Amino acid sequence: MQGLPTDFCKTLKSTYSTALAHGHLIYAGESAKSNSLNANINDSNYEFRLTVLESLQQRPEKGHVDLNPFDKPEPELTVVDTLGERDEFRIVLNKFPVVPAHFMLVTKSFKPQNSPLAPSELVATFMVLKKLACDADDDWFAFYNCGPSSGASQPHKHIQFMTLPQNHHPFAEKLAESNDHFIPSQKREALQDPNMPFAHFVARLPSEIDERLEEVLLLIFYALVQKVFDVLKNHDVDHISYNFCATTKYMMLVPRSNAKYEGTGINSCGFMGLVLCKDNKTAEQMKRCGFENVLAAIGFPNTSGENSNEYSY
């Protein structure tokens, strides 16, 4: 991809280290309290990682288009200033990172966060993921919070990239690995785990991504997003909100009904089994409810087993 340096992983980490050392970003990872928790649902085990990160209290809940940090990003947070076939993207560090080197792919010109991913944005996302896969030390995923109920904090379009905790395996990963690659259709539905009480749509990606990258990604993405639209339509929702999560191995979309659970914002990370809380009180509340129930409350009922009609794909 044009503009992505061959030593991108090295550049990313060095830019992050320098920005952290000089106070250009706020990260209190040393004070983070993380616990791995397991949920047993119908004799199946599911992994969740609960993290209390008090630095989240300093992060604005909602950005404003007139105070747009992506319009002229800080040079100290800029990793790649020009990216894409039409020079339409840049890569910048998150000023309030959840994990080290947490970064974003942002559009140079303003595009709304409530718009679906465009073909060039989808391809750019996976090309960055492919480059990150060369980093043997970490497992990366990308996510996009689309719409007012998705947990998005900035109105300017941005796709985020984070590392997964060591030995953490999201349920979508296990679901994808237990199936072969196919493009969802009426004949073969997008994957859903019937044990998860919320609607979610998963597709495994081909192991070898060649010159047909854009075509394959778009076919899968639009098949999944159509399933999201069906859920929203069936529940008479008048706006589009969903979470997009992806690795080099799979893609998942989750339709959203609420941005918050009991006052706590939850974005795509929650559906990767990563529950972030600003304080211990909120964390205890989440544990009492059960994480799968928290996610069900901000999504829609699981549609596994329901037949699609000809208009669903």
CA atoms within 13 A on the CB side of 239: 13
Residue type, 194: P
Place of tokens 């919070």: 145
Catalytic residue, from 102, 156, 158, 200: name it: 158
DSSP H or E run through 89: strand 89-93
Active site residue 158: yes
Q: Are 201 and 227 in contact (CB under 8 A)?
A: yes
Output the 3-class SS for 134-164: CCCCCCEEEEEEECCCCCCCCCECEEEEEEC
Backbone angles phi, psi at 111, to 5 degrees: -130, 140
Show the CA angle centred on residue 245, arms to residues 239 and 251, nearest 5°: 105
DSSP-derived 3-state class of residue 225: helix
| Beta carbons within 8 Å of 32's beta carbon, 6+ residues apart | 51, 52, 53
Place of tokens 């993207």: 89
User: How remote is the C-alpha of 309 from its chain's centroid?
Assistant: 28
Active site residues: 158
